[in-house]
Every structure is written in structure tokens, then in C-alpha cells.
């Protein structure tokens, strides 16, 4: 997973990279979860399929990350891996593998409250794709 954190006042951001659009969206989800927990400690036992829509790439990215963040904030599921099944500019289907949160086994590093539209970017760059995403913590 290719990403780096971005300094941002009161919040934090990620700059995520992918060789193609599928890898970009998968890396964005995994990078977000890498901020939430020790992703390498997860087993990814259970599977869940997600379907998301958006009006364009940036909107799809925000909706995607909000949906996948809800697995943690609403259902106490910690995502280990993401496989993008299909993606267009307006819709995405993915299969994620996750663990149900267990306080005896899982460490929570950062509580992310929300994925924001502030300065959202999804763009094609030489050699692949890049996205910049700001999170409310």
C-alpha cells in the first residue's frame, strides 16, 4: 500500500497512490485503516461486499471511504484487505476482509470521525493515480 500522511490543522490527511484506479481506491481504504489500527495484526477472517455510488471520482472516493469507515464506527469491524471487484467513475463494488473488534487483541491508534470533501482530489498522474483526502479526527 503506497501512501503518506499530510499535515493539516486540527485534522489529518493522506496522499495515496495506485498504479491504476482500482489500486488507488484499495490503497486509500487500507491506508485509512492503517491509521485506525495495527492493520498487520488483523487476520481478515470474515468477508463483506460493499457497493457505493458517486457523481465523479472525488465524490466516489469520499462515499467509498465513508462507507468503509462505517464498518468500524457503526459495526466495530476492522478492515484488513480490500479487493475492488469493479469500478467506474460513478460506482464501485468491493469485497473486504475484516476482523470484529476485540479489545484484547486490537489496538486503536486513531479515532477518525469523518471523511471530508475538504481539498479532496483524485487525479491521473504519470505512472498511475493519486488522491488527497482530509479526515476529521
CATH code of the domain in which 122 resides: 3.55.10.10
Residues 6+ apart with CB under 8 A from 57: 21, 89, 122, 123
Give the mean model confidence (pLDDT) for residues 91-96: 99
Give, in degrees to the nearest 5, the angle at Cα 102 between 22 and 27.
15
Share of the chain above pLDDT 70, in %: 93
Domain that holds residue 51: 2-136
- Mean pLDDT, the chain, rounded, equals 94
Distance CA 38, CA 43 (A): 11
CA 126, distance to chain mean position in Å, is: 22
- Number of folded domains in the chain? 1
Give every strand in the sheet of 77-87, ordered side by side: 46-53, 91-100, 77-87
Share of the chain above pLDDT 90, in %: 91
Judged by average pLDDT, the poorest of 4-18, 32-46, 61-75, 101-115 is 4-18
Amino acid at each position: 500500500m503506497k501512501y503518506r500522511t499530510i499535515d493539516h490543522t486540527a485534522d489529518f490527511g493522506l496522499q495515496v497512490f495506485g498504479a491504476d484506479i482500482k489500486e488507488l481506491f484499495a490503497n486509500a481504504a487500507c491506508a485509512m485503516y492503517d491509521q485506525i489500527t495495527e492493520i498487520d495484526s488483523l487476520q481478515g477472517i470474515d468477508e463483506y461486499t460493499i457497493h457505493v455510488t458517486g457523481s465523479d471520482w472525488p465524490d466516489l472516493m469520499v462515499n467509498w471511504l465513508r462507507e468503509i469507515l462505517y464498518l468500524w464506527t457503526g459495526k466495530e469491524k476492522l478492515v484488513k484487505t480490500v479487493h475492488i471487484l469493479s469500478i467506474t467513475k460513478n460506482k464501485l463494488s468491493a469485497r473486504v476482509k475484516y476482523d470484529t473488534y476485540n479489545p484484547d487483541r486490537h489496538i486503536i491508534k486513531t479515532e477518525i470521525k469523518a471523511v471530508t470533501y475538504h481539498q479532496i482530489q483524485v487525479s491521473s498522474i504519470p505512472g498511475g493515480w493519486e488522491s488527497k483526502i482530509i479526515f476529521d479526527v
